[in-house]
Amino acid sequence: MEQSGEEAEADGFVGKLTRRTRSGGRLWSAEIKGRAVFESMKPDARVCDVARRYGVKAQQLTRWRRLARAGRLALVTDDAADFVSIELSDPVASGKSEGPVEITIGKVSVRLDADVSAVRIAEIVTAIERGA
């Protein structure tokens, strides 16, 4: 890894790091730690490969991963992964059903008025499934 001032570069990684005055160890920003952890958690990634790319030991990256799992380190995701293509359709009319709602699970049938909320229907279905 080459160093010029505070800039560091290692096999595809470019970032800033700071040296401690006494021990000479590197202090990594939370952003760089989060990016390294995010990369290491991808399905095809190996911790040792990501650690090598960032110029740290695998044990250090593993420690950062533990911090992230504990909620003490935020992950930095790829920009492309933050967006998902969606299509919006016309809103469905929110008119009420004219007839009763009938739920049949196994040998149990329940008829409900059309104005029963979806939450209540879900609670009833759950109760029937537990008792069945």
Q: Tell me what pLDDT residue 46 has.
A: 95
Distances (CA, A) of 73 to 30, 35, 66: 7, 10, 9
Give Cβ neighbours of residue 51 (< 8 Å, ≥ 6 apart): 36, 40, 57, 58, 60, 61
83 falls in which pLDDT band (50, 70, 90)?
low
Q: What are 8's strand-pairing partners?
A: 3, 15
Burial class (CB in 10 A: 0-12, 13-18, 19+), 128: middle
Q: Percentage of the chain surpassing pLDDT 70?
A: 70
Residue 102 has pLDDT above 60, yes or no: yes
* Residue extents of the structural domains in the chain: 2-80, 101-131
Nearest C-alpha neighbor of 117 from the set 103, 96, 99 = 96
The label of the residue with tokens 């021990």 reads 23
> Which pLDDT belongs to residue 50?
94
Confidence label for 92 from pLDDT (cuts 50, 70 and 90)? low
Q: Which residue has the tokens 């010029």?
A: 4
Count Cβ atoms below 10 Å from residue 3 Cβ, excluding itself: 13
Residues 68-82: pLDDT tens digits? Answer: 999 888 888 765 555
Q: How far apart (Å, rounded) are the C-alpha atoms in residues 98 and 127?
A: 25
- pLDDT at site 2: 40
| Comparison of pLDDT for 91 and 73, the residue scoring more | 73
pLDDT tens-digit series, residues 119-132: 888 888 888 887 75
Mean pLDDT to the nearest integer, 17-29: 67
DSSP string, 74-112: -----TGGG-------PPPP-PPPSS-EEEEETTEEEEE
pLDDT confidence of residue 3: 42
